[in-house]
Amino acid sequence: FWFKGFEDKSTHSFLYRPLVDKFRKPPLFVRAHSGPTSFFDGSYNPEVQYWTAKGFFVAEVNYGGSSGFGKVYRERLNYKWGIVDSYDCNALVLELIKLDLVDSEKVVIFGNSAGGLTALNCLSYGSIFTAAICKYPVIDLKDMHYNTHRFEKDYLNSLVGDYEKNHDSYICRSPKNRINKIKKPILLFHGKKDSVISYEQTLKIKEILIRNNKYSEVIFFENEGHGFKNIETKEEVLKKSMQFLKNALNI
């Protein structure tokens, strides 16, 4: 049973109402896509259906820089990755709260890879989000500059700027360097065979996260890389995520 939801063209986002009424007002599950210049197209996604079946309102945000909405919109992210993307996610949440569609005290943001940077920065910039769930997140732009795979070599020159001239931007927009400012629960997943973003980056912030943030957890998978393939892993991610949100959102 699949409920597609609807596209909000004013924000370039896809919104999915809950399939069941489990709450007086539904919690909000915001999804920030990876890329970060990719996009959501509203196509079927079993994870979205999982969360709507649990009573969540799901929003897929095509923040500034997303492809498919014209050159000007795509170029909104130039030199502003880590700023525009987080701002647009915040703006959508505020609009949904204003429309009285979701519970303002139960807002979680999800992102994998580049979307993880967006999600973690959303928590460090303000208080609107209650928690975050990330898979193999980008947390250190400096490390990404030096170690990213060859297909994305120099990609950051347009997203953040030339490294030598914009070194401070690489530092201040990296979640790794803002992690002590985050006091909200975070759940992180990372595969130890990830050749794009080393799991050791996530390992470096594990102790800080768990010490500073109640309910936070970091989970590693021995045989997964950048993008989880095994069905058992995907099931474990959903199971752990639901357990995490029951505690973090008090549901």
pLDDT in tens, 180-194: 889 899 999 999 999
What does the pLDDT read at residue 1? 30
What does the pLDDT read at residue 174? 95
The sheet carrying 107-112 orders its strands as 6-8, 13-16, 57-61, 28-32, 107-112, 131-135, 186-191, 217-221
pLDDT mean for each 10 residues of the chain (251 residues)? 52 87 94 94 92 96 95 96 95 95 97 96 90 97 82 83 94 93 94 94 92 93 95 97 96 92
For strand 107-112 and strand 28-32, is the pairing parallel, antiparallel, or unpaired? Answer: parallel
What does the pLDDT read at residue 181? 86
Radius of gyration from C-alpha coordinates of the chain: 17
For strand 6-8 and strand 13-16, is the pairing parallel, antiparallel, or unpaired? Answer: antiparallel
Q: CB neighbours (10 Å) of residue 83? A: 18
Tell me the C-alpha distance between 149 and 194, whole Å: 11
Who's near 173: CB < 8 A, 6+ residues apart? 81, 82, 83, 117, 121, 141, 160
Query: Residue 29 corresponds to which amino acid?
Result: F
Who's near 151: CB < 8 A, 6+ residues apart? none
Write out pLDDT tens, residues 127-182: 899 999 999 999 999 999 888 766 667 789 999 999 999 999 999 999 999 998 89
